[in-house]
Homo-oligomer: A and B are copies of this chain.
Amino acid sequence: MTNDNRTEQEFLSSYNVHDYDVPLTSVDLVIFTLREQALQVLLVRRSDHPCKGKWSLPGGFIDVHRDKTLDDAALRKLREKTGVQTPYLEQLQGFGSASRDPRGWSATFAYFALISSDDIQLQHGGTADAAQWFTVAENLCSADLAFDHGEILAAAITRLRDRTENSSMPVHLLPAEFTLTDLQRVYELVLGRPVDKSAFRKRIKEGDFLEEIPGKMRHASNRPAQLYRLRAGHPALTLMRRIGGDAKA
C-alpha cells in the first residue's frame, strides 16, 4: 500500500519513525590542538556502559529537538566540551556497522576540529565526564579506545596530514596572531619532518591567506618577528601547490 493516491499530508500523518528498526545515529569529534609543543587530541573517559571506563572521542547522539543540522550537532558537542565557539570544523567520514556498538546497529558522523589552545576552557563538573588531552602518537590509535574510535582517530590524523601537505589548514591550530616561524613549526610538527624556511615562506605568501599586522612585532633577544593573522573574510581553507595546467581554461 505504498503506491496509492494519498496526498503527502495523508502519508505523513500515518508515518511513524518508531514503527521501524533504525540505526542509532551519533556524532563524534576528533578535536586537535597544540599543547606542550605537541599535537594533542581530546579524549573523554566513559562514565557508563557501554565501554565504561574506556577513553573515547567526545560525541553523542543527535538531539533531534535541539540540533537543526549535523554541523549544529557537532558544534554543540564541541562547545559543551571545550567552550570554543568558532573552531575550524569539517566533516571527516561516516562509520557504521551492526557491531560497533553493543546496543545495536550504529552509525556515526565523525567530525574533525582544530582549535587554538588559547581558546580552550575545558568544562568540568556537572554531567561532564573526565576529559583529558593526549599527545598524538602512532600507538594512540591502537590503544584500547572505546568502540571503533581508534580507527576514527587514525582516519583523522591521516586527513590532517594530507591537508597539511597542500593547504592552509594548520593555521587553525594557532592563536589569532603568530609569526611565520610559529606556523612553520606547526607544519613540521604535523608532518613529522623538517621544512625548508625559504620555500615555506614563498608558498605561504603566495597562498595569500595571511596578512601582516601593521607594525606589530614579537620581540625577543634577537631580530623581532612580524606578526601575522588570517586575512579577514577569506575561506577557512586555502589550497596551495595548485595543480599544473590552467585549471580554469
Taking Cβ atoms with an 8 Å cutoff, the residues of A that contact B are 2-3, 6-8, 11-12, 15, 17-18, 20-25, 47-50, 52, 61-62, 64-65, 67-70, 73, 91, 93-99, 102-105, 107, 109, 165-166, 193, 195-196, 241, 243-247, 249
- Would B11 and A50 count as touching, CB distance under 8 A? yes
Residue of B nearest to A97 (CB): B69
Residues on B with beta carbons closer than 8 Å to the beta carbon of A104: 17, 64
- Would B12 and A107 count as touching, CB distance under 8 A? no
Which of B8, B20, B22, B68 contacts A52, CB < 8 Å?
B8
The 10 A-B residue pairs with the shortest CB-CB distance in the complex, in nearest-first order: A11-B49, A70-B96, A64-B105, A69-B97, A94-B109, A8-B49, A21-B64, A23-B25, A2-B48, A25-B25
- Would B243 and A166 count as touching, CB distance under 8 A? yes
Which of B11, B49, B241, B249 contacts A6, CB < 8 Å?
B49
Known: A70-B95, A93-B91, A193-B249. A105 touches B62 (CB 8 A): yes
Residue of B nearest to A102 (CB): B12
- Would B109 and A62 count as touching, CB distance under 8 A? no
Residues on B with beta carbons closer than 8 Å to the beta carbon of A20: 61
Copies of this protein in the assembly total 2
How many Å lie between the Cα of A12 and that of B101 in the bound state?
Answer: 11
- Nearest-neighbour CB distance to chain B for A192, whole angstroms, equals 9
Residue of B nearest to A69 (CB): B97
Residues on B with beta carbons closer than 8 Å to the beta carbon of A94: 70, 91, 94, 109
Excluding A8-B50, A69-B96, A195-B245, 7 further A-B contacts by CB distance (< 8 Å) are A6-B49, A12-B103, A17-B21, A21-B65, A62-B96, A70-B107, A193-B246
Residues on B with beta carbons closer than 8 Å to the beta carbon of A244: 241
- Would A64 and B23 count as touching, CB distance under 8 A? yes
- Would A68 and B91 count as touching, CB distance under 8 A? no
Which of B21, B62, B105 contacts A23, CB < 8 Å?
B62
- Would B22 and A64 count as touching, CB distance under 8 A? yes
How many Å lie between the Cα of A20 and that of B103 in the bound state?
Answer: 13
